[in-house]
Structure formats: structure tokens, C-alpha cells
């Protein structure tokens, strides 16, 4: 008899349904098995309730790990556990962990630029369609992740004067991540003039989901992809 694998990253294990093959001779019904204990995972999502030091603040609170390596940076310390509200836990399961931008990143909107930490769902930003044309798109989700004091950002300076910063795992429009870019690479119609790393003391990094065919948005003048899952 096989115990089913939990379908969610955090633990909602009231469904403990066993599945197994048939046998040629009848056998007595097995004793009910206890629900599997929660386990942590590399993405920093689930945790046992004993890993949260503080008392459980509400009946529906869920003990989960903060986002951590390799989500933000390979050099960050292991993520800590804390109590998530039911809504926070739902968002983590649905959207995943952001690998993202500093709070000061300027996101293009039809009316100008806005810092990413000032955006809220329902606002309109600039996206890109399948043909590369700029279009307007609605923000459907804005997420952030706590990062260590030692966190670093990769700074890409382009030969046309643009400069964009992000965590090393954040993807550009073509899918390549900031940490993989080298001097001379072509990005968004320009060439990379320099690649540097700088410390980031902002405490949290940010990402968003936009309702467009590509999911792309423009940060600091450069077209980027999102690290979050759209559902």
C-alpha cells in the first residue's frame, strides 16, 4: 500500500487517501495510517509547526518557511520559519516565491514610472505582446520576499544608458537570468556594457504578475519576465 504524496507545498493533509493494486486473494482491511508529517523543501515553503518559535497566532495560521536559497541568492542563509496567515499561505501555494527586484525598481505604466513597492492589483502597467509591441496590462498580483542583510543585486548597465538591478535568479524577457549575463550580451535591443554586484539593504525584494499574453513588464526601461506563477 502506498501513501499518496501531498499535493500542496504547505500542509493541508486532511485527505489521506491510500491507493494500491488489487491482489488475487482477499486480505484484511489495513489499519488507518497516520497523516504524513510535514516536511521542509528546497523552495522554502513548508515547515513543521515545531519550527515556528512563536505561539500559533490563530487557528488557521500555517507554519511555513520564508523564501530562501536558491530562491533569492545562493549566498543567503537558510530561510527561517514563521506563521503565515491563511491568505499568505494561499498566495505562496498559488504564486510561489519571488526572485525579484529592489523596492526602488521603476515599473513603466501608461502614465509614467512607479516604484514596484507602490503597485497594487488592479493598476495598469506597460507589458509587451507576442510581437514585441508595448501594450497596457492589469496588475493581478504583487508579491515580495524577505532577503538577508548580505543579499546582493546584479546590476546590468547597457550601452544605451539604461541600467537595471535584480536578484541573480530573476529572468529577462528571453528567460536568461541576471546571474548568467556577461558583458557583451544582447538585451532588449542593446548590449551589456558592464555587470556588477552591489549589496542590497532593502530587506525585501518584489515581483508582480500582469494580465497579458506574455506576462512581461518593463522595469527601469528593460523588459523583464516574472518569477511568479500566474493562475
Convert the pLDDT of each residue in 121-142 to its tens digit: 999 999 999 999 999 999 999 9
Question: What own/partner pairs with CB < 8 Å and gap ≥ 24 does 10-18 have?
Answer: 10/38, 10/45, 10/46, 10/62, 10/64, 10/84, 10/89, 10/92, 10/93, 11/38, 11/46, 11/62, 13/38
Convert the pLDDT of each residue in 135-167 to its tens digit: 999 999 998 888 888 889 999 999 999 999 999
Helices (H), the chain: 86-95
In angstroms, rounded to a whole number, what is the distance separating the alpha carbons of residues 30 and 53?
Answer: 37
Q: What does pTM read for this prediction?
A: 0.66
Residue 100 has pLDDT above 80, yes or no: yes
Residue 153: predicted pLDDT: 95
Beta-strand ranges (E) seen in the chain are 62-65, 81-84, 106-109, 112-115, 124-128, 134-146, 152-158, 163-166, 186-187, 190-199, 204-211, 217-219, 222-224
Superfamily grouping for domain 106-224: Hedgehog/Intein (Hint) domain (2.170.16.10)
* Contact call for residues 186 and 167 (beta carbons, < 8 A): no
Q: Identify the weakest region by mean pLDDT among 4-8, 161-165, 205-209.
A: 4-8
The average pLDDT across 92-118 equals: 88
Residue 51: predicted pLDDT: 85
Nearest C-alpha neighbor of 46 from the set 16, 99, 8: 8
Residue 214: predicted pLDDT: 96
At 186, is the pLDDT very low, low, confident or very high (cuts 50, 70, 90)?
very high
Q: Domain-by-domain residue ranges, the chain?
A: 1-96, 106-224
- Report the alpha-carbon angle 83-85-88, nearest 5: 105
Amino acid at each position: 500500500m502506498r501513501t499518496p504524496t501531498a499535493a500542496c507545498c504547505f500542509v493541508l493533509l486532511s485527505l489521506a487517501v491510500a491507493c494500491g493494486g488489487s491482489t488475487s486473494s482477499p486480505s484484511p482491511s489495513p489499519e488507518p495510517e497516520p497523516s504524513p508529517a510535514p516536511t521542509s523543501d528546497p523552495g522554502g515553503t513548508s515547515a513543521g509547526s515545531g519550527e515556528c518559535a512563536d505561539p500559533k497566532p490563530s487557528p488557521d495560521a500555517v507554519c511555513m518557511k520564508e523564501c530562501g536559497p536558491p530562491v533569492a541568492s545562493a549566498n543567503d542563509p537558510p530561510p527561517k520559519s514563521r506563521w503565515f496567515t491563511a491568505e499568505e499561505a494561499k498566495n505562496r501555494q498559488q504564486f510561489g516565491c519571488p526572485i525579484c527586484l529592489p523596492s526602488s525598481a521603476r515599473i513603466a505604466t501608461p502614465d509614467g514610472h512607479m516604484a514596484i513597492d507602490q503597485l497594487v492589483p488592479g493598476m495598469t502597467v506597460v507589458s509587451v505582446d507576442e510581437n514585441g509591441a508595448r501594450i497596457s496590462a492589469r496588475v493581478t498580483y504583487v508579491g515580495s520576499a524577505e532577503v538577508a542583510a548580505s543579499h546582493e543585486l546584479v546590476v546590468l548597465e547597457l550601452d544605451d544608458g539604461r541600467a537595471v538591478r535584480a536578484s541573480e535568479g530573476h529572468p529577462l524577457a528571453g528567460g536568461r537570468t541576471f546571474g548568467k549575463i556577461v558583458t557583451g550580451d544582447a538585451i532588449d535591443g542593446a548590449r551589456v556594457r558592464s555587470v556588477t554586484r552591489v549589496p542590497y539593504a532593502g530587506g525585501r525584494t518584489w515581483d508582480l504578475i500582469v494580465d497579458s499574453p506574455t506576462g512581461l513588464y518593463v522595469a527601469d526601461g528593460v523588459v523583464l519576465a516574472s518569477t511568479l506563477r500566474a493562475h
